[in-house]
Chain A
Amino acid sequence: MAVVHLPGTLAAEAGGQKRFELEADTVGEALRQLPMANLLFDEEGELRRLINVYVDGVDARGGRLLEESLSERSEVRVVGAVAGGS
């Protein structure tokens, strides 16, 4: 059972829930189960450009991203790209 952690704005869109336990073999499978998944993916089904995903502390963009495999104990963190100024 992988665990997905959401930042505040996304959690608010998921009824206030910040932590989800999900049955999923890959990052993509996990993210698409979330109730606010349409905020993560654009109209072509691509992960939005400024969303980062970390699996067990490692940036999934450096790996296979949505195809990255998850284990029973994987911790997935969704994080807005670090960008300052506004």
Chain B
Amino acid sequence: MAVLLPVGTRKGLFLLRSNGGWEVEGPLLSGWSVYHAIVDPRDGTLYAATNNPFYGATVHRSSDLGKSWERAEEIGLPEDSGLKLNATWHIEPGKDSELWLGGDPGVLFRSDDGGLTWEVNRGLLEHPTRERWQPGAGGMCCHSIQLVNGTMYIAISAAGSFRSQDGGETWQPINKDVAADFHPETYPEVGQCVHKLLSHPAKPDRLWQQNHCGVYRSDDRGDNWDRLDGNGLPSGFGFGLALDPDDPDVAYVIPEESQEYHYTAEGRLGVYRTADGGASWELAANGLPERAWAAVLREGCTFDRGAVYFGTQSGSVWTAPQGAANWTEAVRDLPPILSVEAADV
């Protein structure tokens, strides 16, 4: 089975296929910024969250891996909300035929017809804390959606993380002990700037979070969080986050210098790996450039059972086997990379 990487860029979608090396196809969906793209493991449909400064925010889907495309019917917010959809950010397959879509301004949609039509999630749209949310630098994006044994998690920048145990009817903030250094209260109920939230595939109570203000782990589904930077990481700020499906104590982050500079820490492209649940971190950068001021965005890092992958805003995709002993540049000189995912095809 080959690996396919849908790589979303500011100038369309590229498909990277492993065949000993990496074969590059694209750009597809020219003219669209592809914030996120996935291959649905249920039926092989390729979905892309697509945005254009002139023509708005939408979703494209392809049932033949990019040879032909259909666009979703109008995706919008109800007039009574007083809100308009600014961007589509993240697509996540759910149970049965469900498909979930996160967007800006802090909204979630569900489709039951393969992404053709989308219904807004009222529980989140009308969340009683919404007036305390605020947009981060990338807008108020709902960028992380995780579905684990009937529990849903979402994360919004800058509203924080939320959990639903009733299929999305209601959402409970899960931000205890997660810092918001930019906020008048350092530990508010909501308003945290989560950059990426992942649940561990084999240990469903374990969540990892790369935040604007640190790296965190929870072992109780987000009820409590432990801050994990300061023990080997050059910075707690970053966006990319990856895991090892076979080892819940392993995580990877790509620290950035600061919330003001947004380039890789210490002037190098460094991936940091923990193998002890975040108690310590080690630089795993063999093969990566030692002098680089790169940036990896929140959707720009992913993993599968065999490898970790990330793409930079300078257009390179890097891969390493799980463990990150050696990195290889799969492709370079793509447009600025917004997202990387991995699929078996």
Chain B residues within 8 Å of A50, by CB: 53-54
Contact at B31–A39, with CB atoms within 8 Å?
no
> Which bucket holds chain A's interface residue count?
10 to 19
Chain B residues within 8 Å of A38, by CB: 73-74
Stretch with Cβ within 8 A of B (4 or more), from A4-12, A21-29, A56-64, A65-73: A4-12
Q: Nearest A residue to B33 by beta-carbon distance?
A: A86
Bound-complex Cα distance A40 to B52 (A): 11
Bound-complex Cα distance A80 to B71 (A): 20
Contact at A42–B56, with CB atoms within 8 Å?
yes
Bound-complex Cα distance A83 to B55 (A): 14
B79 within 8 A of A: yes
Interface flags for B1-31 (1: CB within 8 Å of A; 0: not) read: 0000000001000000000000000000011
Within 8 A of B (CB), among A1-56: 8-10, 12-13, 36, 38-40, 42-44, 48, 50-51
Partner of B31, one of A8, A43, A81, A83: A8
Chain B residues within 8 Å of A48, by CB: 54-56
Chain A residues within 8 Å of B73, by CB: 38
Partner of A43, one of B30, B54, B71, B77: B77
- Interface residues on chain B, number (Cβ under 8 Å): 18
B85 within 8 A of A: yes
Q: Looking at B31, B58, B71, B76, which has the most chain A CB atoms within 10 Å of its CB?
A: B31
Q: Nearest A residue to B60 by beta-carbon distance?
A: A13
Chain A residues within 8 Å of B10, by CB: 86
Bound-complex Cα distance A40 to B55 (A): 6
Contact at B76–A9, with CB atoms within 8 Å?
no
Chain A residues within 8 Å of B30, by CB: 8-9, 12
Interface flags for B21-51 (1: CB within 8 Å of A; 0: not) read: 0000000001110000000000000000000
B130 within 8 A of A: no
Cβ distance B101 to chain A, nearest Cβ, rounded Å: 15
Chain B residues within 8 Å of A12, by CB: 30-31
Bound-complex Cα distance A9 to B50 (A): 12
Contact at B79–A39, with CB atoms within 8 Å?
no
Contact at B54–A80, with CB atoms within 8 Å?
yes
B84 within 8 A of A: yes
Bound-complex Cα distance A12 to B30 (A): 9
Known contacts A10-B55, A39-B56; 5 further A-B pairs (Cβ under 8 A): A9-B52, A38-B74, A39-B52, A42-B84, A86-B53
Question: Which A residues lie at the B interface, using CB under 8 A?
Answer: 8-10, 12-13, 36, 38-40, 42-44, 48, 50-51, 80-81, 83, 86
A-B contact pairs, 22 of them (CB 8 A): A8-B30, A9-B30, A9-B31, A9-B32, A9-B52, A9-B54, A9-B55, A12-B31, A13-B55, A36-B71, A38-B74, A39-B52, A39-B55, A39-B56, A43-B76, A44-B84, A48-B56, A50-B53, A50-B54, A51-B55, A83-B53, A86-B53
